[in-house]
Structures are given as C-alpha cells and as structure tokens.
Structure 1
Amino acid sequence: MTLDCIAIMTPGDMGHAIGQRLAEAGAKVVTNLEGRSERSRTLAAKAGIEDLASDARLLTECDAIFSIMPPDQASGFVDRMAKAAGGLSEKPRAALVDLNAIAPSTARTLRDKAEAAGIRFLDGGIIGGPPYPGRPSPRIYVNGPGAEAFEALRPALDIRVVEGEVGAASALKMCFATLTKGVQALAIQSFVTAELEGVGPALRTEMEGAQANLLKSLTNSLPGMPPKAYRWVGEMEEIAKTFGDAGLTPKTFEGAADIYRFVEGTPLGKEVVEKRTMGTDLEDLVARLADALRERAG
C-alpha cells in the first residue's frame, strides 16, 4: 500500500495538526469541508489541507482516510462513507483508519459496516496531544490487515502497530485514557467539592506533601481540559462500554461522562483552544466550576 494521499476527517485540533505534519513530510493531504464550520476551514487552510469537497473523491483518490472526530460521530461517518461507496462505479481505493476514542466492540462493529461496503478498515487510537510545531507526534496505534504499511509515515508521525484482532488499538487507548482523562474527572470532583466546602487550599497543601507528583500533573493538565470536554463525554461513554463488555461495571465512567457534560455546559466549555480567557490555571478553573454549581443550585 502506498500512502501518497491521505485524507483527514476532520481537521479540528488534532486532525489539522496531524495533517500539517504529513503535508510538511511531503504527503498530499486532503479533506471534505462540506458543511464544516469556518473554524475547520481556517484550520485546514493553515495546515495546507486541500478541500476535495466530495466523499466519493476521498474514497477514490486517497490511499487512506484518517477518521479523527468526537467518538459519538465515528459510526455516522462510517455510514456516510459506506453510502458514498455505494454510488461508486469502482472499488474504493482508500482504507478507512478509525483513530477515534472508541470501545473495541465499537471498532469491530464499524469494521463490519465498512467491509460490507467494500471499504478496507483499520482500527487505531491516538495517545498524546496534537503535534503542533515544535511538539513531538502523539503515539498513533493501528492494527488490522495492512497496518504495517503505515509505519512508512515515520518519522513524521509516531505510528506503532498493535498485534491482535481489530479492536486491540482501541482497547489500548481506552485503558490508557482511563488513567488520564478518568483521573482528571475524579480530580474535578475532588477539587470542586473541596472549594464548595471551603477546604480547597487545605486539600492542595495536603497534596503538596503527600501527592506532589499527582498535584503537579493535574495542575498542568486540568486547565487545558474545558474546551475539549464536549469530546471527552463520548470518550468516557466508550470507556464505560469497554468495561461493561469486559464484565466490569460501566457506572464509574458513565459518571465521568456526566462530569465532562457538566464542564461542557459552563462558559469554560464554550471556549475554543486557541482563544482561552478563563480557567487557564488550576485555581481559576476550580473557582469557576464551583461558581457554576452554585448558580445551578440557585
């Protein structure tokens, strides 16, 4: 499999940065911006991503389509590609690489849909932040038939093949996110409740002595979370599904989804990554979320 032309769907925070990295490495990078926001169009232009304005062209002119979107949109996108494939007079050229934060069972369901439409499908997952200029690539895990071909995208992207059946890359992503975004959801509950009870400073002092590394990690990570909370709702629901499929309780991460749904509904959650004015440090973030709960309580 050659990888000369790659589509990015969609060119949001992560997608446009991955597309820019590929374009800088010499690949032709394209998308379909039909119905997309002005922000997506701006990010695509910034990254040098060409708009083909056609799903059919994505399938017939690209070697791979990287699906990078909120998890709750992943299934609809596969349905959309399957519909486009149904109108083609030739077999789709592109492989669909689902890089979304979905449960392994969801990945296998999407594979079945794609393959029924004649589209090759690979499972994947992204661990790490967007590869903005000066930053390293996130780890991009892929698995499924032909996954080894994507190692050719190194060193532009840190592509790593996961052995096993389709769903293995998603399983790795779900289990890792449990210990990162899941911990952040717990931290929001802890810090905000402490603020409401008047013991916020005391909690942080205790953590400085007993959990200094955890406090440092949360101080660095939590302020960047609010504009992404809308995406993390679906991710927590997919983690819940992963655990439920394994025979464990899904309830913990159904609750984590509720936490991010709450953040999404606050003014903090309405901001976008490149235009932050609120909650840019831990103390302000916690204070604003506590205020939002007070207002909700009336």
Structure 2
Amino acid sequence: MPHQPTVGILHPGSMGAAVAACAATNASSVLWCTAGRSPATIARAEQFGLTAVATLPELLDRSDIVLSLCPPAAAEDLARDVAEHGYTGVYVEANAINPQRTARIAELLGSTATVVDGGVIGSPPVGGKSPTLYLSGPTVAVTEVVALFAGTDVRTGILGAEIGNASALKLSYASFQKTSRVLVALSVGLAHEYGVDQELLHVAGRRSDSYLAEPEYIAKTAARAWRWGPEMEEIADTLEDAGLPPEMLRAAASTLARWNDAKDDTSLTLTDALTRLAQP
C-alpha cells in the first residue's frame, strides 16, 4: 500500500465497528457517518475511536476504501446510495449476502468503484478474538485490503479473483454454524417442555464438542435472531440456486423469527429464551 488510506465504515454495528477499529492501525483515519444513526451506534463508534462525519457524501469523498458491514436486508440499498454518489474507491462488500446479490452490487458499482467481495468468519475482534476476513475480487484491490489489516486481530484469506467466492464461503460456514445453534434451541426447548432438559444436557455433556453442551448460548442466539434470520434466508436462496434443498434453512429462519422482539437483549436468560421459543 503506497500510502495510509482513509477508510469509511458504513453502519458500524458490533462487527463493523470492531473491524473498522482494527483497520485504523494501517489507515490515516476511519470515518463513519452520523446521519440517521441510533444513540447505541454513536456510543459504539466513539468507543472504538472512529471519526464522525455528518453525511454519506462527505464519507465517500474522503474515503479510499469503504467497508460495508450491515444487516443483510440493507446491503443493496446501501450500495445503491453509494453508486448514486459515484464513489470511485475500493468498496468491500462484506455483508452476509448470497453470491448473486454480491454480483449485482459489483455490477451496480463497477462503472466507477472497484468492488471486493468479503466474508467475515468468527466473532468481532475484541477481547482477544481474531476473525478472518475472506476476500475475493480484483487482485490489486484485494491486496490493498489485506495490507489494511496487516498486524491486526483481523486475519485475512484470499479466495481468488471471482466475485462471489467470499460470500459463498461465509454462507457455507454459517449454514452449519448458525443452524446448529438453532437446532440446539429446538432440542433443549423440546426437552424443557417435557421436563427432561437437565437429563439431555447430562447426555450431551459426555461430548465436549457438542453444541448441546452449551445451552447458555441459546439466549445469545435469541438476541441475535433479528440478524441471523435474514442470513438464513440468504443461505436458503443460495442453496436453491445450487439445486440443493433450502427448506431446513427457511425453517431455521422461521424459528429465529420467534425471537425477533429480543433484539440485542443482553439481559435475556435461558428460561426467557425457551419461553419465547414455545410461543407462536
């Protein structure tokens, strides 16, 4: 990287803000746009030391690299706003969306910007955690993004030049990792209804590699259901496009929808989550 770039982060959520903070190691500054953001987002951006700007046009005019990390449903609308501005830098589409949507975003922005396909696997880079940002797309742009995270808690992996590869890997991994968490909730929920949940956990505890031995994660799953549900739909669309059955992922999305009112509720207990799960 010939110089320290200016980086813009779009909609800095828990993952986006932490990833952007790592990028600050090799950037001249990391910008975010305050327009329309919630008090929680403002507090998060301040916590991670991001630089506030008032409008999206200002962020785009100043940024050499833009990172898009937002809820899946908003990805294309956000890219459309960026395209309307005529952004000319590197646009890292790192949302949990299917490869077809990533390709549409690349086509939408491709006349002016250089689009890199990204997929984050792992937890936000805080508290010693080190997620991997997988990348695919034009070699020069991918190399710039790799350099941006050199020496930080965000590891990078290169998956070739084809847009869609990183998205496919992200959703392939998430289809197991996140659906498994849903299945744990269903398993423990069923046992709970019959009063045999402790016996189930005793059986599961004999296998330390079983998600069934981690019932405490059910409450965390419930709090994240508003984000995970749309991701399950994205995976289902990808499976269907590949000629594979999407029903299990659509069912997982339907199950997660029962927790939509628990959005980011960190006070939720296991009993609360199981009670909500049992209520249509």
Instruction: Give the TM-score, by structure 1 length.
Output: 0.86
Measure how far apart 1:109 and its partner are.
1.2
Q: Check whether the contact 1:196–1:290 (CA below 8 A) recurs between aligned residues.
A: no
Q: RMSD over aligned Cα, in angstroms?
A: 2.0
Quote how far apart the aligned CAs of 1:3 are: 5.0
Q: Which runs of 5+ in 1 are unaligned?
A: 86-91, 280-284
Query: How many angstroms does 1:18 deviate by?
Result: 1.4
1:46 paired residue number = 47
Alignment-derived partner of residue 122 in structure 2: 128
CA displacement 1:79-111 (0-9 Å, x = unmatched): 1111222xxxxxx33211111111111111111
Distance 2:225 2:277 in 1: 16
- Assess, with a 3 A threshold, how the Cα gap between structure 1 residues 147 and 24 changes in structure 2: closer, same or farther: closer
Specify the alignment match of 2:171 in structure 1: 174
Equivalent position of 1:278 in the other structure: 268
Q: Give the structure 1 partner of residue 156 of structure 2.
A: 159
2:45 aligned with 1:31, yes or no?
Answer: no
- Residue equivalent to 2:131: 138
Which AA in structure 2 matches 1:73?
Answer: A
Shift of 1:216: 6.7
Residue 179 of structure 1 aligns to a residue in which SS? Answer: helix
> 1:282 is matched with which residue?
none
Q: Which string of whole-angstrom CA distances, capped at 9 and with x for unpartnered residues, describes residues 243-275 of structure 1?
A: 11110011111111112111223xxx2344xxx
Per the TM alignment, residue 198 of structure 1 is displaced from its structure 2 partner at its CA by 2.0
Contact 2:222 2:259 in 1 (8 A): yes
- Give CA deviations for 1:169-206 in whole Å, capped at 9, x if unaligned: 00000111112111111111111111112221221122
In 2, distance between residues paired with 1:293 and 1:180? Answer: 19
The unaligned stretches of length 5 or more in structure 2 are none
**Using a 3 Å threshold, how does the CA distance of structure 1 residues 220 and 131 change in structure 2: closer, same or farther?**
farther
1:88 counterpart residue number: none
Q: How far apart, CA to CA, are the structure 1 residues paired with 2:165 and 2:213?
A: 28
Answer whether contact 1:193 1:290 (CA < 8 A) is retained. Answer: no
Describe the shift of the 1:27–1:192 C-alpha distance in structure 2 as closer, same or farther (beyond 3 A).
farther
Q: Distance in 2 between matches of 1:270 and 1:175?
A: 24
Q: Please tell me whether the aligned partners of residues 138 and 158 of structure 1 are also in contact (alpha carbons under 8 angstroms).
A: yes
- Which structure shows the higher helix fraction? 1
Partner Cα distance (2:264, 2:155) in 1: 29
Distance 1:96 1:127 in 2: 19
User: Is residue 2:93 matched to residue 1:103?
Assistant: no
- Matched letter for residue 110 of structure 1: I
TM-score by length of 2: 0.91
Structure 2 residue matching 1:130: 3-state secondary structure = coil
**Does residue 1:258 correspond to 2:254, yes or no?**
yes
Give the Cα separation in 2 of the matches to 1:189 and 1:251: 16
Q: Deviations over 1:89-140 (max 9, x none)?
A: xxx3321111111111111111111114x222111100011112x4133100
Change (3 A) 1:63 1:184: same
CA pair 257-55 structure 1, distance change in 2 beyond 3 A: same
1:60/1:293 Cα in 2 relative to 1: closer, same or farther (>3 Å)?
closer
Q: Aligned partners of 1:30, 1:53: CA distance in 2, in Å?
A: 10
Equivalent pair of 1:3/1:64 in contact (CA under 8 Å):
no
Given the superposition, is the C-alpha separation of residues 263 and 46 from structure 1 closer, same or farther in structure 2, using an over 3 Å criterion?
same
Q: Deviations over 1:48-98 (max 9, x none)?
A: 11122222222221111100111111011011111222xxxxxx3321111
Asked if the contact 2:103/2:164 (under 8 Å) is kept, the reply is yes
Identity of aligned residues (%): 28
Work out whether residues 7 and 31 of structure 1, in 8 Å CA contact, stay in contact via their aligned partners in 2. yes
Partner of 1:203: 200
SS at match of 1:126: strand
Give me the whole-angstrom Cα distance separating, in 2, the residues matched to 1:96 and 1:129: 22
